[in-house]
Amino acid sequence: NWPWIPKLKYGERSQVASVCKLCGAGCGLSIHKVGKRPVTAQGNVEHPLSQGGVCPLGSCAVRLLYRPARVKGPVKNNGGKLEPISWDEARRLLDEKLRGGKVACISGDENGSASELLAGFLALLGSDDFYFMPSDGQVSSIAWKMMGGKGQLGFDIENSDYVLVLGADILSSCGPVVRNQKAFASKKGKYVYAGPVQTGTAAAVDKWIPTYPGQEGTLALGIAYYLLKMGKAASLSSFARVRDFILSKYTPVAVEAKTGVRASELKKLAQELVRAKAPCVVIGSDFGQGSGSFEWAACILVNFLLGNFNQKGGLVALPENKVIKSAPLRSELNQKVLPEFLANVAGGSKKVDALLVYEANPVYALPQASQVAEAFDKIPFKVSFSTFLDETALKCDLILPNPHFLERHDDAYTPFGVGKEIYSASAPVIKPVVNAKPTADFILELAKAMGFDLGFETFEEVLQAKAESLGADYDSLIEGSAYTSNKWIDQDSLSLPVKVLENGLMPEGEGVFLAPVARNYLGNIKQALTPSEVILVKEYELNGKDLYVQVNSATARKLGLKQNDRVKLQGSGRECVARVNITETVMDDVIAAPLGFGHEAWDEYVRGKGDNVFKVLTIAEEKGSGLKVWNRSQVKVVRA
């Protein structure tokens, strides 16, 4: 009838399993196919992390195969002109550039064996400059190690009857969201959320407690104060000092001044937690990154005081695993902090000859963008292994496209936040629709050409070895049944340095608190807003090309702002242009701003829409750990 409308191409229907790699949650997918073509992605009912559900981003997975921004084949970036080269040529070039030089790597794959492989390759090259993109999971690992802990922390919220969430938007954007939503849906008790904005989590939980951004740790210690008053104790070697410090410094008055949460509310929370059979306190920055070891130490302490460590429904320590001999364990890799590395490169104290970027977009998604750009300019040879033409790829000398995750072998090992050890693996669902080559296989080839032995010929062998080392059946993993275990790691003596606890007492700077808001339908730090999600964006997040930021009416009055006013948010020497939306979903003296806009690369679905809030986040140094934190950025709001 309508020849200009696409005709449906019929074929036999089937379903195959896959594992989503669009964020760190590692959901099991069920890919519906017609003939050889995948058509839709749905949740895998058999998989413990998706249980048939999937987030909006995961739901777009199949359509992303044909996102216009895909890198169509290996290219050399000749001053902005992308010139095609062959894979062999690319390998020879890398062989030449990486030999004898100082090589670093940035990976956005926080749970996959590909990162392990890259870290192992770097180790053979004599470098330990492997960095994950920053995340709360990484900081939890740093705090846990600082306390002398072993394994990876997780939250067994499925079995909890009282979940108190401080900051982390666990039902919208933080951690394994679908699994969190499933746990929430079948909850036995109560969920309480404390944060500056009424996010998706705040909308659904039993109670929302407004609290200033970046004050999650202080709030936790405010609760710890009452728990200590009740005589609760934790088995820490430094417990007496920790207790005295909290009782003298984190008094309800001090905590209220910092967090905005009343003493009576803190006391009530403490009492409800104590009354619960299996309470769990979850912490995190409200946008999934930028927190410090202070927040995590405070969270660990509260859970210890509640006596729920390594208990059903509580905070748990999970085992670790690796199969690449030369690679460090994930918890060791997590000790290396990317913003610190980039600051050193930008400042000249660290020299790097070559940088490999895997599945990450640091040029877009890191705070203090000017410093990132400066660091990138100082590295003479950069390679991006990105599936899509993102901001980082455009800054690299070589772009060697990794296939879309549906076109390659991949895996996910115990995503951060889950309460048990989980391993999922997947095989390609379709042949690459562009000239892409799995990065992991390319690295194995390259290593071999350079005379290194990583112990495996193909990446599939790595996954098979991983399955074997866990005692899992590789074929069933590929078919969609994840491996799980309920092993929790016993700990030796733990301690908590009091110095770190001082961070909650630091005076605040000037300006309005900035609460960046991440939502899965706005894309994430890896994937820009997808074509299918464009219509999901709310009018109060983006209108035309204008980014919208949110303040409540009291704050608007204070700042002299009216609806739709054009403003500039200024922070860390940069600024962000936006319009004002007045809404009561934000607490007093806080400005909420959606993350995910202001892309300069990608495709017409995102390019030039709104502004990038990452630019105005300010990095501060944490006392006691020296860690970089940016969860309590403040901005100056001026009229544009």
Partner 1 sequence: MEHIEFKVKWGMVINIDKCTGCGACMVACQAENNIAPMVDGSDKTMTLNWIVVYELSNGKPFPEHEVAYLPRPCMQCGKPSCSTVCPVVATKKDEEGGIVSQIYPRCIGCRYCMAACPYHARYFNWYDPKWPKGMEKTLNISASPRPRGVVEKCTFCHHRFMEAKEKARYEGKDPMKLPEDAYIPACAEICPTGAITFGDLNNPEHKVAKLAKSKYAFRLLERLGTEPQVYYYSEREWVRRLADNYLPNEKTKGE
By CB under 8 A, the residues from 43 to 62 that bind partner 1 are: 43, 52-56, 59-60, 62
Q: How far is the CB of 68 from partner 1 (least distance, A)?
A: 5
Q: How far is CA 234 from CA 246, 567, 594, in A?
A: 13, 48, 39
Considering only 107, 172, 291, 634, the residue that binds partner 1 (CB under 8 A) is 172
| Smaller CB separation from partner 1, 16 or 379 | 16
Q: How far is the CB of 185 from partner 1 (least distance, A)?
A: 4
Residues in region 377-416 near partner 1 by CB under 8 A:
none
Q: How far is the CB of 542 from partner 1 (least distance, A)?
A: 6
Phi, psi (5° rounding) for residue 83? -110, 125
Residue with tokens 């899992």: 472
User: What Rg do the C-alpha atoms of the chain give, in angstroms?
Assistant: 24
- Sheet containing strand 410-413, strands side by side: 410-413, 421-426, 483-485
| Smaller CB separation from partner 1, 79 or 544 | 544
Q: How far is the CB of 400 from partner 1 (least distance, A)?
A: 21
Token pair of 114 as six digits: 């590909």
Decide: is 20 part of the binding site for partner 1 (CB under 8 A): no
| Smaller CB separation from partner 1, 519 or 632 | 519
Decide: is 515 part of the binding site for partner 1 (CB under 8 A): no
Decide: is 538 part of the binding site for partner 1 (CB under 8 A): yes
Decide: is 520 part of the binding site for partner 1 (CB under 8 A): yes
Token pair of 137 as six digits: 């999971």
Residues in region 553-572 near partner 1 by CB under 8 A:
553-554
Amino acid identity of residue 39, one-letter, is V
Structure letter (DSSP) for residue 71: -
Decide: is 159 part of the binding site for partner 1 (CB under 8 A): no
Token pair of 377 as six digits: 């300019």
| Smaller CB separation from partner 1, 141 or 581 | 581
Structure letter (DSSP) for residue 417: B
Q: Give the SS3 label for residue 560.
A: coil
Q: Which residue, among 50, 8, 46, has the nearest Cα to 27 in the 3D structure? A: 50
Q: How far is the CB of 202 from partner 1 (least distance, A)?
A: 7
Residues in region 22-41 near partner 1 by CB under 8 A:
34, 37-41
- Compute the 3-state secondary structure of the chain and give helix, strand, coil in percent, each to the nearest 5: 35, 20, 45
From residue 338 to residue 367, the character string flagging contacts with partner 1 as x (rule: CB under 8 A) and all else as - is ------------------------------
| Smaller CB separation from partner 1, 56 or 189 | 56
Decide: is 1 part of the binding site for partner 1 (CB under 8 A): yes
Decide: is 521 part of the binding site for partner 1 (CB under 8 A): yes
Taking contact as CB under 8 A, which single stretch among the options 130-138, 266-274, 468-476, 529-537 is the one that binds partner 1? Answer: 529-537
Residues in region 571-600 near partner 1 by CB under 8 A:
583-588
Considering only 16, 29, 47, 67, the residue that binds partner 1 (CB under 8 A) is 67
Decide: is 265 part of the binding site for partner 1 (CB under 8 A): no
Decide: is 168 part of the binding site for partner 1 (CB under 8 A): no
Q: For residues 611 and 578, is the Cβ–Cβ distance under 8 A?
A: yes
Q: How far is the CB of 25 from partner 1 (least distance, A)?
A: 11
Q: How far is the CB of 47 from partner 1 (least distance, A)?
A: 12
| Smaller CB separation from partner 1, 10 or 231 | 10
Distance CA 141, CA 131 (A): 14
Residues in region 175-214 near partner 1 by CB under 8 A:
177-178, 181-182, 184-185, 198, 200-204, 208, 210
From residue 102 to residue 121, the character string flagging contacts with partner 1 as x (rule: CB under 8 A) and all else as - is --------------------
- β-pairing, 590-594 vs 512-517, is parallel
Q: For residues 185 and 163, is the Cβ–Cβ distance under 8 A?
A: no
Amino acid identity of residue 449, one-letter, is A
Torsion-angle region of 523 (φ positive above 0: left; ψ -120 to 50: alpha; else: beta): left
Return the half-sphere exposure (C-beta side, CA atoms, 13 A cut-off) of residue 409.
Answer: 16
Q: How far is the CB of 388 from partner 1 (least distance, A)?
A: 13
Considering only 8, 78, 451, 562, the residue that binds partner 1 (CB under 8 A) is 8
Q: How far is the CB of 292 from partner 1 (least distance, A)?
A: 27
Token pair of 238 as six digits: 């430094």
Q: How far is the CB of 608 from partner 1 (least distance, A)?
A: 11
Torsion-angle region of 306 (φ positive above 0: left; ψ -120 to 50: alpha; else: beta): alpha
Return the half-sphere exposure (C-beta side, CA atoms, 13 A cut-off) of residue 318.
Answer: 29
| Smaller CB separation from partner 1, 439 or 550 | 550
Angle (CA) 107-111-116 rounded to 5° is: 60
Taking contact as CB under 8 A, which single stretch among the options 15-23, 170-178, 307-315, 420-428 is the one that binds partner 1? Answer: 170-178
Structure letter (DSSP) for residue 469: H
| Smaller CB separation from partner 1, 1 or 493 | 1
Residues in region 297-316 near partner 1 by CB under 8 A:
none
Residues in region 421-480 near partner 1 by CB under 8 A:
433
Q: How far is the CB of 425 from partner 1 (least distance, A)?
A: 22
Distance CA 546, CA 447 (A): 47
Q: Give the SS3 label for residue 576.
A: strand
Total interface residues for partner 1 by CB under 8 A: 75
- Residue 495 makes CB contacts below 8 A (sequence gap 6+) with 147, 148, 236, 237, 238
Q: For residues 151 and 390, is the Cβ–Cβ distance under 8 A?
A: no
Considering only 462, 537, 591, 595, the residue that binds partner 1 (CB under 8 A) is 537
- Measure CA 289 to chain center: 6
Considering only 78, 79, 535, 562, the residue that binds partner 1 (CB under 8 A) is 535
* Number of helical (H) and strand (E) elements in the chain, helices listed first: 21, 28
Decide: is 519 part of the binding site for partner 1 (CB under 8 A): yes
Q: What is the dihedral of CA 207, 211, 215, 221, to 10 degrees?
A: -50
Distance CA 316, CA 417 (A): 10
Decide: is 6 part of the binding site for partner 1 (CB under 8 A): yes
Q: How far is the CB of 98 from partner 1 (least distance, A)?
A: 34
| Smaller CB separation from partner 1, 359 or 541 | 541
Q: Which residue, among 495, 468, 497, 496, has the nearest Cα to 483 in the 3D structure? A: 468
* 433 C-beta neighbours (distance < 10 Å), count: 15
| Smaller CB separation from partner 1, 542 or 627 | 542
